[in-house]
Chain A
Amino acid sequence: MLTGKAMTSRIETRFAQCRAENRAALVTFIMAGDPDASVSLNILKALPKSGADIIEVGMPFSDPMADGPAIQAAGLRAMNAGMTLRGVLKQVEEFRRHDADTPIVLMGYYNPIYVYGVDRFLADAKAAGVDGMIVVDLPPEEDEELCLPALHAGLSFIRLATPTTDDRRLPAVLANTSGFVYYVSITGITGASRPDYSKVATAVQRIKAHTPLPVAVGFGVKDASAAAEIAGKADAVVVGSAIIDTLAKTLDAERQGGPATVEAVSKLVSELAAGVASARR
């Protein structure tokens, strides 16, 4: 078998397809195990059909310091329903049986990975069909922890760039980034207010001056029109809290979901995908 480096990765292939279709990619976030393992797996399977190009799968953590109330609550629901890091990898494994092409990027915090064991985690993630990861609390200053081992294992390590990342710092942030760069369009937590879109275009151009990687933009993207707006300025649009909010609204008093949950999320993602497609470039 070829190593990750020699192969064209699923992420690269997917961005190439989107470019060929003259459109941005839609990146959707869901929390693994929210509201429970079975419903979240069904959502996962339905996402590509609804128009998600890349899927970010949240790894629940007890102390999500960079997340707002929606994603905090999603993580809690998942943990209360018994989701663990091993369980997250199992979900990806299941998903891969049905979908060989849609890139899966794990997103979360370092402690559960550190406790699982970095080498074991990378091996298991690779085997499950994970393509990359975003670990919020690992800046380039801590690259030796997980970023470099991940790259070595043939997995992408996707870094966040933020409005506070100045030109002096950007090269360090981009140095070991692979797959794509995730531009966090506001300073703040997930689910916060809508960014100033005029600034987003400038920021994307600033990052592109430093890297050939695609630039995805997220934070504050709530609906199809916002997605269209960002899609005109970036290579990908990331939507997270809006999807979680939609999911949460379908849950009953015991926080249980069902087919209606999958349907509601699919509907929103279809609308977002239409928004992204409308912004042909």
Chain B
Amino acid sequence: MSVLPKNSLRQGPDARGHFGIFGGRFVAETLMPLILALEDAYEDARKDPAYHAELKNLLTYYVGRPSPLYFAERLTEHLGGAKIYFKREELNHTGAHKINNVLGQILLARRMGKKRIIAETGAGQHGVATATACARFGLECIVYMGAVDVERQKPNVFRMNMLGAKVVPVQSGARTLKDAMNEALRDWVTNVDSTFYCIGTAAGPHPYPAMVRDFQCVIGDETREQMLSLEGRLPDSAFACIGGGSNAIGLFHPFLDEPSVELYGVEAAGHGLEVENGHAASLAGGRAGVLHGNRTYLLMDDDGQILEGHSISAGLDYPGIGPEHAWLKETGRVTYLSATDKEALDAFQLCARLEGIIPALEPAHALAKIVEIAPKKPRDHLMVLGLSGRGDKDIFTVADHLGGM
């Protein structure tokens, strides 16, 4: 990375892992030495050209990068405003952006001599990516997944099993993503010597939020280059869905210091923001708190007990958000919106019918806001959707909601 300007928004976090008041290292003492060792190993790897070369090679030949920046011509025509491009992360090996981060972390685990990999997963995309990389490198893989999510994302459970991973259904709490993360942390605290925790989103204790972001920045870096080559200039806006927020931070970060680029993060509004515990929009409906190793916006009650949240999308159904997003909200650099289950379902169908692309329900939330905003923009406004994953895993959920089809 080139030298950053003095007031760059890309400098975070500080040495203690803080983005403003957010982030930090709120973990049990047992894990603290591991997190410090991870930080050292990552710093070391960052400076090693051989590490970058190996990652680049995998991203090119194994993942299939760069992913295309595709002009969505019929959607553009249909909405009659901004010129819409899709950054097609759904074409990556394993069908989502998750693999970008997983490969970075697995190469790091190998450098650290760790042979046992654990991960949490919501929609199963991160679990599938982790199981894939573990198969590729001959590592043991255990994936914690909420029992509710195991039920609603069966195709991904089957894929993980095929890849040789052990999927552990988590029965505690709401039996979704946050509980899977609790259980993964319990595993890590127990198996400290052998185990590497491959976190799937830009959240958790420092250095995870920064590290995962760095691995996902390939999305924004490529988008920038591709847009320059296709249109001769930067995009005017970029949209991405947010659960923990890794695909969004990866798309946004390379544009943070470009004030002309509007950035929109879209949270899951579930049944609606006004419905108590009926959504998963931590920024819109939560407040600052401490969970899973970092301070960030969380959905919680007045006693500080974490709420479960709801979204039709298992990948957005998390009561927190990466700490850098919490900070970007406070600085005002990124605009955070939300889309309901219904809006996402409508956008899902629109995309399938108009573009012949079945998106995952997660990016369908971001697309829903594009449907709303694109018509209000001029025709020369270049708008990018981070199409973070494909929707094969969601067809049964969608069929249920649409009455069986």
Contact = CB atoms under 8 A, between A and B. Distances in A.
B27 A62 contact: no
Contacts of A188: 30, 189-190
A208 to B, nearest CB: 18
B178 interface: yes
Contact of B32 (A69, A79, A139, A192): A139
A192 B190 CA distance: 9
Tell me the dominant secondary structure on chain B's binding face.
Answer: mixed
B168 interface: no
B29 A162 contact: yes
A239 B288 CA distance: 34
Interface in A130-173: 136-139, 141-142, 159-166, 169, 173
A113 B189 contact: no
A114 B306 contact: no
A226 interface: no
A112 B305 contact: yes
A160 B291 contact: no
A84 B182 CA distance: 21
A241 interface: no
B372 interface: no
Given A166-B33, A169-B33, A189-B186, A141 B25 contact: yes
A59 B303 CA distance: 11
B300 interface: yes
Nearest to A192: B190
A115 B303 contact: yes
Contacts, number: 118
B24 interface: yes
A238 B92 CA distance: 51
Contact of B303 (A69, A112, A137, A184): A112
B190 A62 contact: no
A66 B304 contact: no
Nearest to B186: A189
Contacts of A69: 172
B366 to A, nearest CB: 28
Interface pairs A-B: 9 shortest CB-CB: A115-B304, A112-B304, A188-B190, A62-B305, A162-B30, A84-B303, A139-B32, A137-B26, A62-B306
A165 B189 CA distance: 13
B305 A114 contact: no
Contacts of A115: 287, 289, 300, 302-304
Interface string A43-75: 000000000000000001111111111001000
A85 interface: yes
30 contacts: A63-B182, A65-B28, A69-B172, A85-B304, A111-B291, A111-B306, A112-B303, A113-B304, A114-B288, A115-B287, A115-B300, A115-B302, A136-B28, A137-B26, A137-B290, A137-B293, A138-B26, A139-B25, A139-B29, A141-B16, A142-B24, A159-B29, A162-B28, A162-B30, A164-B29, A164-B33, A169-B33, A189-B186, A189-B189, A192-B190
A122 B357 CA distance: 56
Nearest to B37: A164
Contacts of B293: 137
A3 to B, nearest CB: 28
Nearest to A85: B303
B192 interface: yes
Nearest to A161: B29
Given A65-B186, A110-B290, A137-B290, A184 B30 contact: yes
B289 A160 contact: no
Interface in A68-97: 68-69, 72, 79, 84-86
Q: Max chain B CB contacts within 10 Å: which of A65, A114, A159, A192?
A: A65
Contact of B28 (A62, A112, A139, A141): A139
B28 A66 contact: yes
Residue among A116, A160, A189 with most chain B CB within 10 A: A189
A17 interface: no
Interface in B163-189: 172-173, 178-179, 182, 185-186, 189
B300 to A, nearest CB: 7
A217 B30 CA distance: 15
A205 interface: no
A187 interface: yes
B173 A63 contact: yes
A169 B302 CA distance: 36
- Secondary structure at the A interface, as helix, strand, loop or mixed, is loop
Nearest to B16: A141
Given A68-B186, A160-B28, 19 more contacts: A63-B173, A63-B178, A63-B182, A63-B291, A63-B292, A66-B186, A69-B172, A79-B305, A84-B303, A85-B304, A110-B26, A112-B304, A136-B28, A139-B29, A161-B29, A164-B30, A164-B192, A165-B29, A188-B189
B30 A116 contact: no
Contacts of A65: 28, 182, 185-186, 189, 292
A90 to B, nearest CB: 13
Nearest to A187: B192
Q: Which of B25, B293, B304, B306 has the most CB of A within 10 A?
A: B304
A116 B289 CA distance: 11
A165 B27 CA distance: 13
B34 A164 contact: yes
A217 to B, nearest CB: 15
Contacts of B306: 62-63, 111
Contacts of A67: 186
Contacts of B305: 60-62, 79, 112
A111 B290 contact: yes
Interface string B278-299: 0000000001111111010010
Contacts of B28: 65-66, 136-137, 139, 160, 162
A114 B287 CA distance: 11
Contact of A62 (B25, B173, B290): B173
A68 B183 CA distance: 10
A74 to B, nearest CB: 13
B32 A141 contact: yes
Contacts of B33: 164-166, 169
Contacts of B179: 63
Given A115-B303, A192-B190, A142 B172 contact: no
